[in-house]
Structure 1
Amino acid sequence: MAARTHSRPHPATTGGVHIRLPWWALALPALAFIVLFALILNPSDAQAASGDPAITHLLERAQQFLAR
């Protein structure tokens, strides 16, 4: 014989805590993601300063790995 389950007459609440984010709290991270993604897709647009050749070599290897 199956046991009966008791259902609640109303949905459970979280205690009345409501958090409301301003519009820029979502827009700025989204904009940063889009800009960084665009730089990954077209790295010729990035004007990076000349750095240590080892770091440049490491970044080139990472780019080749991601291009596979």
Structure 2
Amino acid sequence: MNWDTIQGNWKQFKGQAQQKWGDLTDDDLDKAEGNREELEGRIQEKYGRSKEEAKKEVDDFMSSL
């Protein structure tokens, strides 16, 4: 699955993102609005991940869908 599909159907995938990153609030995910860079930034903030680690987590999330 590519990110364009996730972005276009963000409301559907938001719940799955919430399950994967439980520390992200609904507000965090609403602000991301399917924007990959925004989601990666929120993961970095909440989990103390590096940019590369956050990118890999999002890649893994995409692969799992």
TM bracket (short chain): 0.3 to 0.5
Larger Rg: 1
What TM-score results when the alignment is normalised by the length of structure 1? 0.31
Flag the structure with more relative contact order, 1 or 2, with Cα contacts below 8 A and sequence separation at least 6: 2
What TM-score results when the alignment is normalised by the length of structure 2? 0.32
Tell me which protein shows more helix as a share of its residues.
2
